[in-house]
Amino acid sequence: MPSISARIPDDEEEILEEVADLLEEDKSTTIRKALHQGLYDLRVRVAIERYQSGEVSVNEAARIAGVSLGEWFEIARERNLTSQLSPDDLEADADAAHEL
């Protein structure tokens, strides 16, 4: 596993220690979990923004978010996303989904 170092402000180190204590784990494990969750959240946010703007299709949004098509549909449902896609785009997405 590669090692990365980063500098964080004192107040964030205090928060890190508090969260690590709450989770009853060491700071390194807490940082790895926070990084994993944060990267997932960022990918989903970008996918939502691009999908809502009509820039990407359902399949592309799922790929950007790093989730399966089924998981993307769940994200879209939970967040009440509306499609900005043309009927042709929707048909292409449906065809791609059938191939899965």
The per-residue pLDDT for range 71-96, each reduced to its tens digit, is: 999 999 999 987 666 677 667 767 77
Q: What is the pTM of this model?
A: 0.75
> Residue 15 pLDDT > 90, yes or no?
yes
DSSP output for 32-80: HHHHHHHHHHHHHHHHHHHHHTTSS-HHHHHHHHTS-HHHHHHHHHHTT
Q: How far apart are the first and last CA of the chain?
A: 33
Specify the pLDDT at position 94: 72
Specify the pLDDT at position 89: 66
Specify the pLDDT at position 91: 74
| Token pair in block for residue 19 | 């969260």
